[in-house]
Structure 1
Amino acid sequence: MTSASATDLSLAMQTNSTRRWPALLSRLLRSSRLQPPQLRQAHALAIKVGLDLLPFPVGKLIAAAAAVADAPYARSIFDRVPAPCLFHYTALLRSLSLARTPAVADAFSVFSSLRSSSGVALDQFAFVPTLKVCARGLALRAGQQLHCLVLKLGFQLYVNVRNTLIHLYCRCGRADDDGRRMFDEMPQENDAVSWSALMSGYLQISEPQKVVELFCEMRARFSQINAAVMVITLSASVDLSHHGSEALHCYCIKSGYYSDLNVATAVAAMYAKTKCMDSAAMVFDATKGKDLVLYNCMVDGYVKSGAIKEAFALLARMKDEGVKPNSATFVGLLSACASSGAVVVGRHIQEHIKEEGLELDAVLGTALVDMYSKSGCLDEAIKVFDGMIDRDVQAWTAMITGLGVHGRAEAALRLFHRMEDEGTRPNEVTFLSVLSACSHGGLVAAAKECFERMVSRYGLSPKMEHYGCLIDIFGRAGILEEAHELIRSMPFEGDAVAWRALLAACRVHGNVELGEVAQRTLVSLGDEHPSDVILLSSTYAAADRWADIEQLGSVGADNAMEKKEAGRSLIEMDVPDLLPTTIMGD
């Protein structure tokens, strides 16, 4: 039986004895082409012939549900088992560890049920998936509780348990203390997975030098280094100041890792991130069996290096070679269009997205909303937003930002409340966008309510940018004393931007005394700027205090005029000669 179908399984059962049925079911469930519909068909056939009453086939069904990342279906099978055994529990825990959303509480519930089951003893295979759920959910406290149980029962002797604990601590940002301590407890027992887990943890906390040091130490201890370690080391080398990229590239070729597609992609990404696109192109051209990840890496590298024409040419090559793009392929291109205002090019990209039949997911939809908003096409941004099949916090924030920038403050506020009503939790950037919209629209009361809601309802700590927006709103509205009090109450050291915003507001509203306080504070902060003198001089002029203007002198104003840069703008006249005809179509 070579095809993963319930029909083939049924036919095979007809020509084999009943004793072979569990093995036939197991072979079907192990198929690499197994999908949720085929799993359900196999389950239905197992129920029909009575295999659902046997522990081994039921365990295989749960394990198959885990393999296709269908945790709810795995749980539904498990709940119908009258007396689950250890295999059933571990299969269910594995399905939870592979679920799209880590459910720490569910995993702990199953693990606790396993511990309390009479006649079922724990083993290392129960700890590993439960710890993985904690790692994915960044549940450090829960993971530490499991670690205590591991030590109590002696399971730290198993290398797979120790490796998962190292992975847990590294995922939670504790590579340099708990992760390293776990690694050093039994150094002679560490395998390649132990090393790669710790190196990945150091990479996550931006310690590339320690990654390279571990790589050198690993080379001295082991004759062979796996591809995963090479990928991590290549990623770390980008952030180091010394030039070791070429040496690592040579090592990959000499050691035979260059034939591994993941390593080749990491080498290309290393060159692309350092804007050495000629070297990246050489790696790309020499790689056989190019996949979508490698293509996306090159497209992103060309975009960030400013080589937009080459990026579009590579997109056309993907089409010629039958490589179907995904949302990540177009995000960098749309970002480049947003930065340059190339809305015509952006529209052609959107047409190409439609031709490829890609769904407007959160990532792609957000990039399009951002591009159209920054290019002044707000109606098109709204149309894209309304057509998105899934909206995350970034998508809502991008649309709120677009409305605010275009002066539609009340619409931005309504969208923010709609976001809350639909169950999406705003983050710090969302609140900054709402406050900025209130600033553009002069909505003082709404801004104060939003600032208070950020702290009281969501428990977020306002940053300097949030205070700056609120100060700017108070300044524009002429509530200068309240703005002054807000600056003094900030939980930060004196910020020149906030005081300068207050000084500018004093000029607009003619508050000389507070303007002098702001200017003196800027001097005491050591952040003087010629524009400060101009602002205070204008404030004096509005109050007819010409003697004070003479006392200030004109030196600062002259310097300010010399330092002021000329404004510039960019408009798109026509479709640039960037798009290959295969992308532009007719």
Structure 2
Amino acid sequence: MISQGYSISDEPERAFRVFNQLRAKGITLDRFSFITTLKSCSRDLCSSIGEGLHGIALRSGFMVFTDLRNALLQFYCVCGRINDARKVFDEMPHSVDSVSFSTLMNGYLQVSKKALALDLFRIMRNSEVPVNVSTLLSFLSATGDLGNLSGAESAHGLCIKIGFNLDLHLITALIGMYGKIGDIGSARRIFDCAIRKDVVTWNCMIDQYAKMGILEECVWLLRQMKYERMKPNSSTFVGLLSSCANSEAAFVGRSVADLVEEERIALDAKLGTALVDMYAKLGMLDKAVEIFNRMKDKDVKSWTAMISGYGAHGLAREAVTLFNKMEEENCKVRPNEITFLVVLNACSHGGLIMEGIRCFKRMVEAYSFTPKVEHYGCVVDLLGRAGQLEEAYELIRNLPITSDSTAWRALLAACRVYGNADLGESVMMRLAEMDEIHPADAILIAGTHAVAGNPQKSLDDELNKARKEAGYSAIEIE
């Protein structure tokens, strides 16, 4: 019982010590001792200890029990050892139950092996093991991820045939499945026909419309929620606000934000971050700052969104100042690679050379992050804007990643600013060697020659080397 208590506590590792103490004292252990300790291994991702327990259970003869085998299945799946989980499953052909199938199917979904999850469900259907809600949820998730319309319709029919079509979890999963494959009409019909709906069902339908950019339907559903006296929560708005930001739908975004205030939804980290990101992208930086300052619990995404907002509005010093404040005041919140990327980007566009280099060094030395090509691209852009083209060229040549064009293209843009045609031609040769020539590169190199005083290198000549893509623009109509 003590081991079981520790397995669900905030200190699951203490269950290991209890287990070992009982074995050392010669106390006979039953299968439940193994199950609770394996649960602790799953929670703490203790792969080696769990593997050791597996061996002890084999020697003790407890592997005949299905519940212990299922605990082992869960442990291996949680640890990402899906092949070991499948071995355990295959060793119990006559004792598998619906929990065994559901656990392994979820394990396949966690490692993005959707097709294998569907194969396992077909095996389950051909066996005498009854299908339950949990296995159907996994089946619907895998079907949606694979984007198979006929498979989705078959899955929907199966839910009706088995008689689970009134289960709220399955209704929500069906909406999500049809949304993933782009059949928003079928998703809406399921939603409208549902006899009862909870807030999760409403959130799922709103989120599917938001992902497809059909924002007017999202707003209509929000109004309908209010009419039916269904209280929204923070998750109701997060996906919709992100879609408003990406679509630059200012009117819809403001309407949704007003509804958040009207419903007095608590500004948790996810909702607050979505509001900050939306206001910043829609050009309302003052509102973004106001929301950010009101947030009590900020995570790394919250800080990163606000830093990015400052950088996008050309306020590079404010972005660096906020980054420094994040380091000084929040020991629990550490910057991640994206945080450093937005700071470097702000420094690059703001011409803060020393601050950008210092940030890059802290990323490597203080936080032990390995820079990605995007980080190098920002540093190259920073050096290029400062006219230090040769330094930028040497930095790219020594990159551990040689196949990405981001850093080279940043240098090419700098060559145009300073009219360094010779270096620009060298960069174009590099891009050609990587088969990464883009129509925009032709414009950049032509501009480089123009600045350098070489009119014979015309834009038409360069554009003939690359096919120019058509552009488009959009406006918002309220």
- The reply to whether TM is greater than 0.5 is yes
Distance 2:356 2:452 in 1: 30
Please, which of 386, 395, 410 is the counterpart of residue 302 of structure 2?
Answer: 395
Inter-CA distance 399–553: structure 2 relative to 1 (3 Å threshold): closer
Paired position in structure 2 for 1:349: 256
Gap change, CA 1:202 and 1:519, over 3 Å in 2: same
For residues 559 and 521 of structure 1, the distance between their equivalents in structure 2, rounded to whole angstroms, comes to 15
1:314 matched residue in structure 2? 221
Q: 178-187 or 229-238, which moves further after superposition? A: 178-187
Per the TM alignment, residue 250 of structure 1 is displaced from its structure 2 partner at its CA by 0.9
- Higher mean alpha-carbon deviation, 477-486 vs 378-387, is at 477-486
Q: Say whether 1:143 aligns with 2:50.
A: yes
* Alignment counterpart, residue 291 of structure 1, candidates 198, 202, 216: 198
1:555 corresponds to: 461
Q: Distance in 2 between matches of 1:557 and 1:110?
A: 68
> Matches of 1:442 and 1:325 in 2, distance apart?
44
Distance 1:323 1:533, change over 3 A: closer
Task: Return the alpha-carbon distance in structure 1 between the equivalents of residues 141 and 444 of structure 2.
Answer: 48
Q: TM-score, normalised by structure 1?
A: 0.75
Change (3 A) 1:473 1:247: same
Decide whether the 8 Å contact of 2:215 with 2:252 is kept in 1.
Answer: no
Amino acid at match of 2:306: M
Deviation at 1:297, TM superposition (A): 0.8
Q: Pick one of 110, 134, 152 that aligns with 1:204.
A: 110
Amino acid at match of 2:97: D
Counterpart-to-counterpart distance in 2, 1:543 and 1:278? 57
Uncovered stretches (5+) of structure 2, i.e. residues with no partner: none
**Separation in 1, partners of 2:335, 2:52:** 31
Aligned to 1:526: 435
CA 1:280/1:534 → structure 2, altered by over 3 Å: closer, same or farther? closer
User: In the alignment, what sits opposite 1:115?
Assistant: 20
Letter in 1 for 2:359: C
- What amino acid does structure 2 have at the position aligned with 1:463? K
Find the aligned partners of 1:211 and 1:168 in 2 and give their Cα distance. Answer: 18
User: What is the identity, as a one-letter code, of the residue corresponding to 1:458?
Assistant: Y
Q: 1:269 to 1:416 in 2, by over 3 A?
A: same
Q: Partners in 1 of 2:361 and 2:128 — Cα distance?
A: 57
Q: What aligned pairs does 1:79-228 form with structure 2 within 5 A after superposition?
A: 87-90=1-4, 92-96=5-9, 103=10, 106-117=11-22, 118=25, 121-175=28-82, 177-222=83-128, 224-228=130-134
Q: Any idea what SS the aligned residue of 1:250 has?
A: helix
Q: Over the residues paired in the alignment, what is the CA RMSD in angstroms?
A: 2.5
| SS of equivalent to 2:295 | coil
Question: Is the alpha carbon distance of 1:406 and 1:138 closer, same or farther for their aligned partners in structure 2, counting shifts above 3 Å?
Answer: farther
| 1:231–1:266 Cα contact (<8 Å) kept | yes
Where in structure 2 are the equivalents of 1:504-543 lying within 5 Å? Answer: 504-543=413-452
Q: Distance in 2 between matches of 1:301 and 1:433?
A: 29
Specify the code of the residue in structure 2 equivalent to 1:267. L
- 2:345 and 2:351 map into 1 onto residues whose CA distance is 10
Query: Which one of 138, 144, 168 corresponds to residue 238 of structure 1?
Result: 144
Shift of 1:227: 0.9
Aligned to 1:358: 265
Does structure 2 conserve the Cα–Cα contact (< 8 Å) formed by 1:407 and 1:440?
Answer: yes
Q: CA deviation at 1:152?
A: 4.8
1:324 partner SS: coil
Q: Distance in 1 between matches of 2:429 and 2:162?
A: 65
- 1:368 CA displacement: 0.3
Larger Rg: 1
How many pairs are equivalent?
A: 473
Deviation track 1:519-542 (CA, whole Å, cap 9, x = no partner) reads 221222223344434433443343
Distance 1:453 1:401 in 2: 18
Q: Structure 1 CA distance, aligned partners of 2:444 and 2:223?
A: 54
Match of 1:369 among 276, 284, 297: 276
Q: Secondary structure at the match of 1:563?
A: coil
Deviation at 1:400, TM superposition (A): 1.1
1:376-455 maps to which residues of 2 (within 5 A)? 376-421=283-328, 422-423=330-331, 424-455=333-364
Return the offset for 1:164.
2.2
1:401 alignment partner AA: S
Counterparts of 2:44 and 2:227, CA distance in 1: 41
State the partner residue of 1:304. Answer: 211
Contact 1:111 1:126 in 2 (8 A): no
The unaligned stretches of length 5 or more in structure 1 are: 1-86, 97-102, 577-586
Q: Percent identity?
A: 46
The one-letter amino acid of 1:352's match is: L
Provide the rounded CA distance (Å) in 1 between the counterparts of 2:147 and 2:203. 26
Task: Give a deviation string over 1:8-52, Cα, whole Å, max 9, x none.
Answer: xxxxxxxxxxxxxxxxxxxxxxxxxxxxxxxxxxxxxxxxxxxxx
Amino acid aligned to 1:442: G
Partners of 2:399 and 2:449 lie apart in 1 by 28
Deviates more, 1:258-267 or 1:360-369: 258-267
CA apart distance, 1:195: 0.8
Q: Which amino acid aligns with 1:186?
A: M
